[in-house]
Amino acid sequence: MRVRARPHKAMSITMNTTITHSSTTLTWKQADDNVHVATRDGEFAGFVESDGTAHVVRDNHGAERGTFANLAEARCALEGTPRRATRPIRQTLRRHLSRARS
């Protein structure tokens, strides 16, 4: 008995990453002794984490944006970071699939 495979139907999803620069400044709150969180227009914009020797900046997607000697420099670095409105669907799918396979 021979089994016939179904015809392959290609599916294409296209999304673009849009980068916007907001004129609204960041609002900062200290969440813990070593963590400062930034919001812009009420939405999470990123955070600065300190280990006592350096300040690491992460954006609203958790991507590292740099390491700085003091909090003021770290905050300025996040102020100048463009806000990504969306993440490409392919990147999101790859990330989820790779986690599922692990």
Rounded average pLDDT over 46-51: 93
In a domain, 10, yes or no: no
In a domain, 17, yes or no: no
In a domain, 94, yes or no: yes
pTM of the predicted protein model:
0.58
* Cα–chain center distance at 53: 24
- Point out the least confidently predicted range of 7-11, 48-52, 79-83, 95-99: 7-11
In a domain, 6, yes or no: no
Q: Which domain holds residue 58?
A: 24-101
Rounded average pLDDT over 5-29: 58
Beta-carbon contacts of 99 under 8 Å, excluding residues fewer than 6 positions away, are none
In a domain, 5, yes or no: no
Q: How many domains does the chain have?
A: 1
Alpha helices, DSSP H, located in 3-88: 71-79
Residue 55: Cβ within 10 Å count: 22
Residue 71 predicted with pLDDT over 90: yes
Question: How far apart are the C-alpha atoms of 49 and 56, rounded to whole Å?
Answer: 5
